[in-house]
Chains A and B, each alone.
Chain A
Amino acid sequence: MSFQFRQLTLKDWLVYGGLETINFVDFEPGRNLVVVHGQNGFGKTSLLKALQFLFHNGLSRDEWYESWNDQAQEQGEGYLEVGLEFIHNGRLCNLTRRIEFRRRGAGTSPRPDVELRIDGEQITSQIEDQISQMIPPEAQQFVFFDGAEITRYAHKQYADGVKEAIELVLGIPAVRNLRDDLSKLIRDLENEQTEILTQQGENERLLGEIDHLESELDGYAIRRKKLVEQQQAIQGILDELERDASEIQLIETERKQLSDKKQRRAELEERLAEQNKSINKLLEDAPRYMLVGPLSQIVEEQSVRQNAPARRTEFKHRVEHLEDILDQENCVCARLIDSDAEEAIIAEIERLKAFIFEAPVAEGNSTTIGELGTLSGILSNIRTSNLDGLSLFDKAADVRTKLEEIDTDIRRLEAKLENHTAVEVQEVFQQRKIHHQQLVDTEAKLVNLDSIISRSKDDLREKGRERDQLAGSTEQGNQVTQTLGITRNTYEAVNEYVEQLVQDKRTDIEELTSVIFTSITNKPLEYAGVHVNDDYTLAVYRRDGSIVENTKLSAGEKEVLAYSFITALNLSSPNPAPFVMDTPFGHLDSGHREGLLRSLPELNVQVLLLATDRDLPDEEREKIRDAIAQEFEIERMQRDAVSRIYKVVD
C-alpha cells in the first residue's frame, strides 16, 4: 500500500485535552477498516478536522484559537499540535503542525509551525507544496468526508470547479502542463525562425501571410469560445425547460386523472344514492313484507268465505260422494279400500262438513270484496317484488369502499396539484421550441466555424512548411527547424496521450462507480450502472439502457451515487489516499447502509470509519467483523470536559 496512516497524535486539539495517540496496524486487503465509535459531540469530527488541518492548512487565526482545547486555554499559554506518521509512495513521512500560543500583554499571540520529515530527513523548502501534492486541497472532499459532504456533493454535481478538482485528483493537469510547455516551446521556436527570416530581409509576404493566418485563427478561437459558451447557456436553459415541460406533462396527466376520478366519483355517488333509495324503500316496506305469511292465509280464508254459498253446495255434493264410497267395499278404481284410506276419507268429510255448517262470520270481521281485492293485490305485489336486500346492501358497501378509495386518490392528487394551478403551459412549450431552434443554429455555426478553423490550420501548416524550408537554408535556421520538428512530434504524442489519459481515467471511474453503485443500491435488478459524462456529471442507467433522470432518484439514492463516485475517484487517482468517513450514513435507509458497509472491505485502501451507534448497530458491525482491523472508542470525561480514545480489545 503506497499510502497508509501509521500513527496520529493530537495535543490539546479541540475536545482532546492533553496528548492522544492512535496507532494504526499495517494495511491488509479485505481487513482494512479502522472503526472509531463515539456518540455525537464526543470528538469524531475533531479527528476528521485534525486530518484536514494537517493536509490542508486552511484554518484562520480565529480558528486556531477555536481549535485549542478549552482546558488548555485556561493555562494562558501552551500549544496545540497534530501529527501524523504515514507511508506515502513507499517513503516514511512525519508531518506535524503546531500552533504555539505565547503570552503577549493581556492576551496571547499564536505562532504556527509545520514540520515535514521524509525518511527521517527534514524538509526545509516548499513544505506546503509537497504536502499539497500528497492530497491536493481540491481533492480533500474525495478523501476526508462526512455524511453532510456526501449530501452536498449529491447536489453540487454541476458546480463550477468540480471538474477541475476531479482532473486534479486524477493527475491530468500535470500531463496537460507538459503539453502546454511544449506548445509554448513551439511558439518560441517559430518566433526564432521568423526572426532569422526577417534578418535575411526576405519572404516578407510569407511572414505576413503566416501572421495574418495566426491572428485570424486567434479571432476564430475567440468566436468559437463565445459560441461554445452560448451553446452551453442555451443547453442549460433548454434542460431547465425540458424539466419544466416534463413536470407540466406529469401535472397535465395528473389533472386528467383528477378530472376522471371526480367524474367517476359522481357516477358512484349517483349509483349509491339509487341503491340507498332502494334499500330505504325496502326497509320502509319491511313491516308489510314481513307479514306475507299471515297475509296469504288471510287472503285464502277470505276468498273461501267470499265464495262460501257456492262452495257449500259443492261441498255437500262432495260429502255425499265420499259417503257413497265409504258404503262400498271397493273404490271407483275397483281396488279394495283399506283402513288408512278409510280414515283419510272420514277426515276429509269432517273438514268439508265443518265448513258447510260453520257459523257466518260477523259483518265487522269479514272483508269486503274491495278490501280482499286490495289485500290480494298487495300479496301478489310482495310475491313478485325483488326482496333481495342483502345483495343490494353488499353492492352498496362495495360502492362505498370504492368511493373511499377514490376520495383518497382525489385528496392526494389535489394536494399534489395545489401549487401548480398557474403553470404557463403554452409559454414553456413555446420557449422550449425557440431555444431548441437556437441550439440547432448555434451548433450549425460551430460546425461551420470548425471547418473554417480546420482550413486555416491547414493553410498555416502549409505556410509553416514553406517557412521551415526557407529558414533551414542557413546553419542557425536549420538547427531551429530541426528542434522545432522534434518538438512538434513530441507535442503531438503528448497531446494524444492527454486525450487518451482523460478517456481512460473516465472509463476507469465509470466502471468503478458502476461496480460500487450496483453493489450498494437497493434496486440492483433495475439499475445496471452509471455513466460518467465528459463534464463528470453522473447518470444512472437501467438494464434496458434507458437513463434514470436525476430528479427521479431519491435523496438516499443520490447520496449512494455520490459516495460511489467519490470512492471510485479516489481509487482511480495515481496514489489513493486512505478514506476517512465521518458518520456517512446519516440519510441512508438500512438497505443502502448495509450495501455501503458491505462495499467498504472491497476498497483497496485503509478506511477510517467514524461512527455512532446508529451508523453501525451491533448486528451490522457483526456482518463486517472480519473486515475490521482495529476498533477504538471515544469516551467523554464529562467532569473534566475532555475526550479520550481507547482501543477496543475484542
Chain B
Amino acid sequence: MLHLNPAHKLFISEDLIGYSDKLTEDGTFPRRIDLLLLGFSYAVNERLDPAKEFTRHELHYTSGIDEKTRLTIEAVAQWYARERGMEDRVDTDRQLLEFICGIGITGVKELQRRWEGKRRSQIQWDILQLLASITPN
C-alpha cells in the first residue's frame, strides 16, 4: 500500500484559508489540517470527486497526522480511487497527497455550505450527529 511522504505538506485551496482560519481561531478545530481531513471523510461518504482547479496553500507536514488516522486515510484514498475509476491518480506518494487534498478540499467546501451561519457549538454538534449517523453505534 502506498503511503504519504512525511516530507510532503498537506494543502488546501486559497479560497478556503479564511474559512479554515475562522474555524481554528474560534476553537471549532484545533488545526487547519483537522478540517481538511474531516472534509476528506465527508467527501468519501458523500461520494464526491476531487476538486479540480485551485490555487494551493500549504498547511502542515503529513507527519502531523496521527498514525491511525493517516493509515486509514491512505488506505481509504486508494480504495476510493479504485471505486471511482481513478486508480491512475494514486500511483505515487505525490499523487496520493494530491488526491487526498483534492477530495478534502471538495469536502470542506460542502461542509462550508452545510455550516453556513452556524456557530462553533452548532458545528461541533453537527459533526457528532454525522458521526452518529455513519458509525455502527
Contact = CB atoms under 8 A, between A and B. Distances in A.
A390 B29 contact: no
A280 B30 contact: yes
A283 B127 contact: yes
Interface residues of A, number: 39
A365 B86 CA distance: 13
Given A286-B127, A286-B131, A293-B45, A386 B137 contact: yes
Contact of A287 (B40, B71, B91): B40
A367 B75 CA distance: 8
A368 B82 CA distance: 18
B48 interface: no
Of B68, B73, B128, B130, the most chain A CB neighbours within 10 A belong to B128
A72 interface: no
A288 interface: yes
Contacts of A386: 137
Given A387-B132, A390-B128, A286 B72 contact: no
Interface string A379-402: 001110111111011000000000
B93 to A, nearest CB: 10
B115 interface: no
A290 interface: yes
A220 B1 CA distance: 116
B16 interface: no
A366 interface: yes
A295 interface: yes
B5 to A, nearest CB: 14
B136 A292 contact: yes
Interface string B108-129: 0000000000000000110111
A276 to B, nearest CB: 10
A283 to B, nearest CB: 6
Contacts of A629: none
Interface in A291-346: 291-295, 297-298, 301
A251 interface: no
A79 interface: no
Contacts of A392: 128
Contacts of B87: 365
A389 B127 CA distance: 9
A65 interface: no
Contacts of B75: 295, 298, 367, 371, 375
Contact of A290 (B1, B80, B125, B131): B131
Contact of A393 (B68, B69, B91, B128): B128
Contact of B41 (A290, A297, A364, A378): A290
B124 A290 contact: no
Given A283-B127, A378-B72, A393-B128, A292 B135 contact: yes
A104 to B, nearest CB: 85
Nearest to B3: A371
A298 B74 CA distance: 11
Nearest to A397: B121
Given A283-B29, A286-B131, A365-B1, A291 B124 contact: no
Contact of B73 (A291, A297, A366): A291
Given A280-B30, A290-B41, A382-B135, A295 B72 contact: yes
B69 A288 contact: yes
A279 B137 contact: no
A374 B78 CA distance: 16
Interface string B1-34: 1100000000000000000000000000110001
A279 B69 CA distance: 17
A298 B137 contact: no
Contacts of A287: 34, 37-38, 40-41, 69, 73
Given A292-B134, A292-B135, A385-B137, A282 B128 contact: yes
Contacts of B72: 288, 291, 295, 375, 378
Nearest to A280: B30
3 tightest A-B contacts by CB? Answer: A389-B128, A290-B41, A287-B37
7 contacts: A286-B127, A287-B34, A292-B134, A378-B68, A383-B137, A387-B132, A393-B128
